[in-house]
Every structure is written in C-alpha cells, then in structure tokens.
Amino acid sequence: MRPVALLTDFGHADHYVGVLHAVLERDAPGVTRIDLGHGVRPGDIWDACFQLRCAWPHLPTNCVVMVVVDPGVGTERRAVAVTVGARSLVAPDNGVAAAVAGASAAVALDWRRMGVEKPSMTFHARDLFAPAAARLARNERDLDFGDEIGVGSLLPCPLPDPVFSLSGLEGVIVHVDHFGNLVTNVRGSEAEPSATATWRAGRTSRRVRTYGEAQPEEVVLIEGSAGFLELAVNCGSAAEATGLERGDTVVFSQGDD
Amino acid sequence: MRPVALLTDFGHADHYVGVLHAVLERDAPGVTRIDLGHGVRPGDIWDACFQLRCAWPHLPTNCVVMVVVDPGVGTERRAVAVTVGARSLVAPDNGVAAAVAGASAAVALDWRRMGVEKPSMTFHARDLFAPAAARLARNERDLDFGDEIGVGSLLPCPLPDPVFSLSGLEGVIVHVDHFGNLVTNVRGSEAEPSATATWRAGRTSRRVRTYGEAQPEEVVLIEGSAGFLELAVNCGSAAEATGLERGDTVVFSQGDD
Amino acid sequence: MRPVALLTDFGHADHYVGVLHAVLERDAPGVTRIDLGHGVRPGDIWDACFQLRCAWPHLPTNCVVMVVVDPGVGTERRAVAVTVGARSLVAPDNGVAAAVAGASAAVALDWRRMGVEKPSMTFHARDLFAPAAARLARNERDLDFGDEIGVGSLLPCPLPDPVFSLSGLEGVIVHVDHFGNLVTNVRGSEAEPSATATWRAGRTSRRVRTYGEAQPEEVVLIEGSAGFLELAVNCGSAAEATGLERGDTVVFSQGDD
C-alpha cells in the first residue's frame, strides 16, 4: 500500500482533519498516514503551493499527496488526480494541483465512477479527495476515477516569481511561519552572499548564514530550509519586529552596490 | 486489532495528547491511532458531543472511540465504556458518553479490575481511558473492566434541540469552527430552502447551497458538511463579521413569511 | 522496528513537523510515529526539558525519542544520541539531551558517517535528527553515527530546582499549559497537604486534591498529572486570573505557619 500525506487549511479546532484520517482508514485499512500540515492560511492558495513545494522533495517516493485548500468547493472547479513521477497529487484544480513540476498525466475525478456517494456541497476533502487518495493508496488506477485531461489544462500555480526592477530583485513574502520568519519567493542562489534586503524605506537587512550570526533583535536575511530567503530574528519574531505580512514586497540588492 | 480514535479538549500546547498516544502504543503495540481532534473548547461538553456526532458516521466500523472532555475529573463522576453497534465509546459519564444513539450496553470502568495503577486525580485520560481503549483495541471485553450498568442510567447529552417559538424555529450556535463558521443545532432538512436566519434584531441571512453563491462579505446561511445549518462568510469569518458566539440564538423563518 | 516519538517547538502552522514524519517514513518505512508534542514555547529549553520529563515515564520501553528545540542550529553546538535504558534520545546538546536521568552512553552525530547529505544551516531536525531517529528505529547502532562522548560532557539541563529561602520553598513556573494551568518545578511530595502558595504580595492559594474542590474562579494549588504543583482555576485559566507567566516565582509555605 502507498503512504498518504495530507496538506490542508483545516486547522486543529475541529474534527475536519480527524474525519479525513477516519475515511482513509475506513477505505484503506492500515494505510500509512502523514500529516504534512493543516496550518495553511485559510483559503490561501499561495501558501498551499509554497508549503507543498517545500515538503515535496522529502516525501516517500510513491506517496499519494492530498492537498485541499478549496475556497471554490461546491462550484464548478474540477477535482483532479495528477501523476508526478511515482507520486500522485489529489487536489482541487485551483492552482494547487499545478504547484509541483513534472506532471505526466491528470484525471478529472468523477464521484459516479469512483463508486462513492454524491459529495456534499462543502466538504469534498471528506467525500471525494480522501476516498480517491485511499483508492490510490490501494494501488487502484486513477484512470478508473474519471476522464483523462491534459496536464496543460490545469489551472497554473499563482505563486509569483521574483522580478527585476530598477531597485533590484523584487520578491514577495509568501509565507509567515510559526516562529515569525518571513519567507520570500527568492531562492538563496538568486542573490549574492553579500546581498542586502530592503523591506521598507530605509530599513535593510544583511545576509547571514546561521541564526547565531545575528545580533540580538537584529532582523537578518537568511536562506531557510527550503532554499528561499527569509527575514528572521534570532530567538524572536521577524513578523512582530517588522510588521510585515504575507504579500508584502522585499527588494534584494547586491552587496557591491 | 481495532483502531482507536481520540477526541479531547487537550489542545496542542502540551505533551498531554502525545502521552495518550504513547500509552496506546505501550499497551497495544502497533495499534492504529486516529486523532479525531483535540480542539474541543476547554471543558465544553456541548462542543464535544457535537464534534463526536459529526465524525461518528465516518469512523471505521469497529472503531474504539475515546472522548475526554472532563471538567469533573477526580470527582465521583463515573468513567464508562459504551457499546454502540460494533463500536465502543470510552468517556466520562458527563453527557458525552450518551451523545450518539444506539447504545446497547455500558460498563462502569474500575481501575482495580483493569489491572492498572490507581489513577491520578487530574489525568484519567492517561491513567484510565487510554488503557481501557488499548485493551478494547486488543479485543478484550469491557465486561472484564467493571460492572455493567444500564444504558438508560448514562447522564443524557446536554446538547439542546431547536424549539418552535412565535418567531419561528429557534436554534443555537453549538460550534464555531476554524474558519469562523457558526454552526447551529438545526438540520438543513428542518428549514425550507428559502428559509432566512435572523441572528440579531434586523440582521438576517438568506440560504445558499454553496459558498460560491455568496456575495463578498455577505453573511449567508448554508448547510454544512454534517447536515447542520451554519452562518458563513465566503473567504471570511462569520464569527468576526457578526460578533456571535457559541450559545447565541439564531431564529429560522420560512421564506414565504 | 522501534517506535519514534517527536517533541519540538515547531508548532502547527507549517510543513515542518510534516516533513519530519515524511523523512521518518522515507528512511524507515512503516515505522510507528508518535507526536509527543510540537507546542514547546519557541526556543524554550526549560519547557522542552519539562515536557520531556513529564512524558518520559509513559513512553514505550524501547522508544527512540527525538527532541528538537534548537535555537543554536547551524552553530557549533553538538548533535547527540544518548542511550537511556532501552530508549534512545536524539537531540541537540543544549541541555535537552541531559533532561532525563540514567544516561549510559552518548554519541556525537556526524552526518558524514551517517551517510546523509550535508545538513542545511537551519533545519537539522529534518537533515540530521530525523534520519538518525529513523536509523535507530531500524535497529542500527548509534556508535556507527559518530564518536562516542562522555555522558558527563553533555550540557546540563538548565531547569532550576526549587530553593529554600526565608519565605519558604521558592519554586518557579516552568510551563503554562493549554488550560492556563501554571505548572511549577515543585513536586507535590515536597510540600505539605496543608501548604499554601504565595504568588504575589498578599495573594495566596490553598492546596486541594481535585479541581472539583475549588470554588468558582478560585485560584487553587493542586498536584498535576506529572507530580508537580500547579496553580489552577476550575473551568478557567489561572494564567488569565493571575497574570503570572513562565519564569515567575511561587513561594510555598506550610499550613502550620
């Protein structure tokens, strides 16, 4: 049986995530379940795409990955299963399903052909995506769950790429983590080791390699664990220190300038 | 071995839930464990009953379900194991144990007969309920854990039913979810498709079928995933938009009025 | 295979914990994973030591325990695997690794000898500790992961012991739990059943045995589930009621005084 990993914006206040686990265990008894995370900002597709990309390289080779951040649930948006290498990605077709590169095939999920009851209008994770993930875990073929669709027809991932401007390389904060680190969409390799980040008129941060190099309360620029540059405060919260939020701009200029 | 599902108000700040998992694994190595949720409002038996009822239909057939919301821990309240179909429900006898219909037998747990150490005064989940759940998972009989008691003697579930008044069908908010949806105790089938909800003098909401039908920032009435009507804001929080809380009243009138 | 338990300060907003689970499953397919908790206060080694000590007696006998609260990640601090009875503890050498008594051997982890890629500067939990835990779960020997070091060379656990002063037995709040209970470092056996706790000039609490003995809104002193005395409010939050925080002092005097 293949392991199943779950990434959602359902949080931990309710039984929602628990019911997904129950459905997986009901439909694929003994399946290995991995909570990739349920703290995606509610309805935030950027955040879902970002967290999925960060976790992707570390997942088991043949993993079934179910990502549900689904503000359009109950509308006409498609539900899809995408093949990426030996992995399967099950998600609404709202940009999340196209967040990782290398898709080779895709199917539009059809509850009639999956042999499940008609889904509710508000909880397709329970009624459609988890049953699909359980069936894939049991090595059923997604081609039996609906019509094949072109990989190119998937809604593209909306995460912006950094852009070059007169000021330098303009990035954007795509994720604020538990520690208050402000993670941008700029890779460590895209900026010089001597780069500085300007995050508000007159406020800049120098780049360091480890948290330990930062002065107390200093906002520094550091390459995070997924390879992206982030603003951070050692033993503190850069989000609190700067007041910056998801979606705010950070400009990277080279140290030589 | 039977799977074990856990529902508590212990939250995620501490080692409390982790210790329950450790005890289950210690007493029933390899047992399948499902976190149904640990976000029940602290001490809120309504919320525990509601979340249990919502999750119940989706659990594995032979599941052992351990629900611990236990403000009376250490007092004389009974600890019970209840048989409901092929499932077992292990809980304090404070209303939670009677939250689901169909109980056929019940036992008052007695630590002496279970062969465990004398429980602490404050953590029966660890010392009594998890060991009981682990033994049930291993297919031991609850009749060996204490005296049989009448199912009718269980403290009734305190969740109120909606009532008819001059204003219409009066419901109450029994759960506020992670997204800020305000879930009532009124089933979708109890109100007309054209029903409106009055939730404060002069403030009403129309019923829709999907989040997508709502206008931006509009507070709408929608049937949630467990069949109950809830106030919701698409891509927003109805709790924030309305200021309503768990326990507040919502009146449903028919659209023809 | 040995079960693996995880205790970190990574919280639940991100994919960080999920990636640890993915790495464990990737490196030790089918391994039993236990989330001991991820709610340690960010960077708070006291809290990590305290939660580890509370959970320790309840873990499976042969458990591999991975504790990562690691403000010094990327600096020269050692990463270690410590043998304690039949258990292994994998952690940074910052005090956490010495939190439980009975260590018989220790190894300084060396990624080169473990056969993993060079760790990132910011996420050794993913790159070093989880791979080590997975290998230990598969019954590999930690002696193959690096040089043996003296157990006495481990950085000592920084949790303070209570001290006797003119005022009485001075303890300190080492953990604030999900319910707002203020847990001290003083064991129940160290104070008389008639002891009172003074937690601010003129504010004292009497000791009770169960939450049920407290008056509404009364701040009482009670022995918690791990044997330590805590300030608590029945069906309420002592943290809110008192304004006390982690690190604040509580003085215990005997009832006879």
pLDDT digits (tens, 9 = 90+) for C94-138: 999 999 999 999 999 999 999 999 999 889 999 999 999 999 999
Nearest to C211 among B13, B30, B73 (CB): B73
Average confidence score pLDDT of chain C: 95
Asked if B235 is an interface residue toward chain A (Cβ–Cβ < 8 A), one would say yes
Question: What pLDDT was estimated at residue B193?
Answer: 87
Rounded to whole angstroms, how far apart are CA atoms C66 and C172?
26
Question: What pLDDT was estimated at residue A257?
Answer: 46
Question: What pLDDT was estimated at residue A227?
Answer: 95
Distance from CA of B56 to the nearest CA of A (A): 9
Transcribe C65-82 into DSSP letters: EEEE--TTTTSS--EEEE
As a whole-number percent, the residues of chain B with pLDDT over 70 amount to 99
Nearest CA in chain C to B33: C34
Which residue in the block uniquely carries the two structure tokens 């809110």?
C240
Helix (H, G, I), strand (E, B) or coil at C133: helix
Indicate if the pLDDT at residue B189 is higher than 70. Answer: yes
Residues 6 or more apart whose Cβ sits within 8 Å of residue C134: C4, C23, C24, C26, C27, C28, C31
Question: What pLDDT was estimated at residue B256?
Answer: 57
Name the residue among B72, B66, B61 with its Cα closest to residue B28: B66
Contact B43, C211 (CB under 8 A): no
pLDDT digits (tens, 9 = 90+) for C21-30: 999 999 999 9
Contact C124, C73 (CB under 8 A): yes
Distance from CA of B255 to the nearest CA of C (A): 41
As a whole-number percent, the residues of chain B with pLDDT over 90 amount to 88
Band (pLDDT 50/70/90 cuts) for residue C257 is very low
Asked if B55 is an interface residue toward chain A (Cβ–Cβ < 8 A), one would say yes
Single-letter code of the amino acid located at A155 = L
Burial class (CB in 10 A: 0-12, 13-18, 19+), C1: middle
3-state secondary structure chain B: CCCEEEEECCCCCCCHHHHHHHHHHHHCCCCCEEEEECCCCCCCHHHHHHHHHHHHHHCCCCCEEEEECCCCCCCCCCEEEEEECCEEEEEECCCHHHCCCCEEEEEEECHHHHCCCCCCCCCHHHHHHHHHHHHHHCCCCHHHHEEEECHHHCCCCCCCCCEEECCEEEEEEEEECCCCCEEEEEEHHHCCCCCEEEEECCEEEEEECCHHHCCCCCEEEEECCCCEEEEEECCECHHHHHCCCCCCEEEEECCCC
Does the distance separating the beta carbons of B55 and A22 come in below 8 Å? yes
Write the ipTM.
0.95
Residues of chain A with C-beta less than 8 angstroms from the C-beta of B7: 15, 18
* The two structure tokens encoding residue A127: 């009624």
Q: What is the DSSP letter of A127?
A: I
Asked if A67 is an interface residue toward chain C (Cβ–Cβ < 8 A), one would say no
Rounded to whole angstroms, how far apart are CA atoms A188 and C4?
33
Global confidence as pTM:
0.96
Band (pLDDT 50/70/90 cuts) for residue B254 is confident
Q: Could you tell me which chains touch chain B, where touching means 3 or more CB pairs under 8 A?
A: A, C
Question: What pLDDT was estimated at residue C32?
Answer: 98
Rounded to whole angstroms, how far apart are CA atoms A60 and A65?
10
Q: Mean pLDDT, to the nearest integer, of C189-214?
A: 90
Contact C7, C51 (CB under 8 A): yes
Distance from CA of B119 to the nearest CA of A (A): 28
Maximum pairwise Cα distance, chain A:
63
Asked if C73 is an interface residue toward chain A (Cβ–Cβ < 8 A), one would say yes
Residues of chain B with C-beta less than 8 angstroms from the C-beta of A16: 37, 177-178, 225
Question: What pLDDT was estimated at residue C86?
Answer: 97
Distance from CA of A114 to the nearest CA of C (A): 27
pLDDT digits (tens, 9 = 90+) for C133-190: 999 999 999 999 999 999 999 999 999 999 998 889 999 999 999 999 999 999 999 9
What count of other Cβ atoms lies within 10 Å of the Cβ of residue A102? Answer: 11
How far CA A182 is from CA of A134, A176, A205, C10, in Å, comes to 35, 5, 12, 15
Q: How far is CA A34 from its chain centroid?
A: 15
Question: What pLDDT was estimated at residue B257?
Answer: 46
Contact C7, B18 (CB under 8 A): yes
Does the distance separating the beta carbons of B126 and C177 come in below 8 Å? no
Please tell me which of B199-213, C63-77, C143-157 the model is most confident about, judged by mean pLDDT: C143-157
Q: Mean pLDDT, to the nearest integer, of B96-112?
A: 96
Does the distance separating the beta carbons of B21 and C58 come in below 8 Å? no
- Residue A26, H or E segment: helix A16-27
Transcribe A158-215 into DSSP letters: -PPPPEEETTEEEEEEEEE-TT--EEEEEEGGGS-TT-EEEEETTEEEEEESSGGGSP
Distance from CA of B179 to the nearest CA of A (A): 7
* The two structure tokens encoding residue C131: 């791979």
Indicate if the pLDDT at residue B58 is higher than 90. Answer: yes
Residues 6 or more apart whose Cβ sits within 8 Å of residue B78: B92, B93, B108, B109, B149
* The two structure tokens encoding residue C111: 């990624």
* The two structure tokens encoding residue A165: 């401007």
Instruction: Describe the crossing of helices A16-27 and B45-55 by its angle, rounded to 10 degrees.
Output: 30
Band (pLDDT 50/70/90 cuts) for residue B167 is confident
Question: What pLDDT was estimated at residue B255?
Answer: 63
pLDDT < 50 regions, chain A: 257
Contact C42, C13 (CB under 8 A): no
Nearest CA in chain B to A125: B225
